[in-house]
Copies of this chain bind each other. A is one copy, B any other.
Amino acid sequence: MSFVRLNVHVVVFRLHEDALQALLTPSTEQPEHWELPGRAVTADESLEDAAALALASRVLRDEAYLEQLYTYGDPQRTPQRLVSVVYFALAPADAIRDGPGPEAWHSIQSLPPLAYDHADILAYALRRLRYKLEYSAAGFQLLPDEFTLSQLQHTYEIVLGESLDKRNFRRRILEAGIIEPTPHVRSGEGRPARLYRYRPDAVAEVKARRLFP
């Protein structure tokens, strides 16, 4: 009968100071290296619960978007036979807290060396994030509850790494029907901007066409 050690790991992204960042924790085995936050799965919790707990010191669970990414389990991967179920998470600005512990956010542009195969996993998660934005309006998951269309466009530009046309962006995001205007506006420099929010009743159905090919 065959038993294995089962872990979860999470690639969680946030937006901070115009950069896309991922949460990392110092490697316990490889000095100077970092790892994806992770955790052993206990007997009585679901995989998704375990993934949420791996983030708990830095991200409020109920605010974050969480989905399963891939399960890595080659026997050569790590010293002992170890299977990792990897989750992918998006942390909206208002779900992030400064917790204790050694975890730190690192910009995707300047990642430190990562232990094991975690660099590959992170690269895969980033690809997945970009795909998600291309064919859905998922970008709002990185913003506060209410946000302006300029903020949302800025999010897309940071994640996709290219600039987008303002009018086309607005047209497509609004036609996708995933966000709706609120009664609020946000004032600051220049003309105040309408605030939008996610439509909780929005159909989660997959969009046939990409929003931003």
Interface presence of A163 (CB below 8 A): no
Query: 1/0 contact trace for A194-213 toward B, CB 8 Å?
Result: 00000000000010111001
Interface presence of A110 (CB below 8 A): no
**Are the CB atoms of A43 and B81 closer together than 8 Å?**
yes
Query: 1/0 contact trace for A36-57 toward B, CB 8 Å?
Result: 0000111111110000000000
Q: How many residues of A contact B (CB 8 A)?
A: 29
Cα-based distance from A3 to B82 in the complex (angstroms):
10
For this complex, 22 residue pairs linking A to B, each with C-beta atoms less than 8 Å apart, are A1-B5, A1-B40, A2-B42, A2-B43, A3-B3, A3-B5, A3-B6, A4-B43, A6-B6, A6-B73, A41-B73, A44-B75, A46-B74, A47-B73, A47-B74, A47-B83, A73-B85, A83-B83, A83-B85, A131-B206, A209-B209, A209-B210
Of all chain B residues, the one with the shortest Cβ separation from A46 is B74
Number of copies of this protein chain within its complex: 2
Question: Shortest beta-carbon distance, A165 to chain B, in Å?
Answer: 18
Q: Which residues of B contact A42 (CB under 8 A)?
A: 2
Of all chain B residues, the one with the shortest Cβ separation from A42 is B2
Question: Shortest beta-carbon distance, A121 to chain B, in Å?
Answer: 14
Interface presence of A30 (CB below 8 A): no
Cα-based distance from A144 to B68 in the complex (angstroms):
34
CB contact under 8 A between A45 and B213, given known A2-B6, A6-B2, A6-B83: no
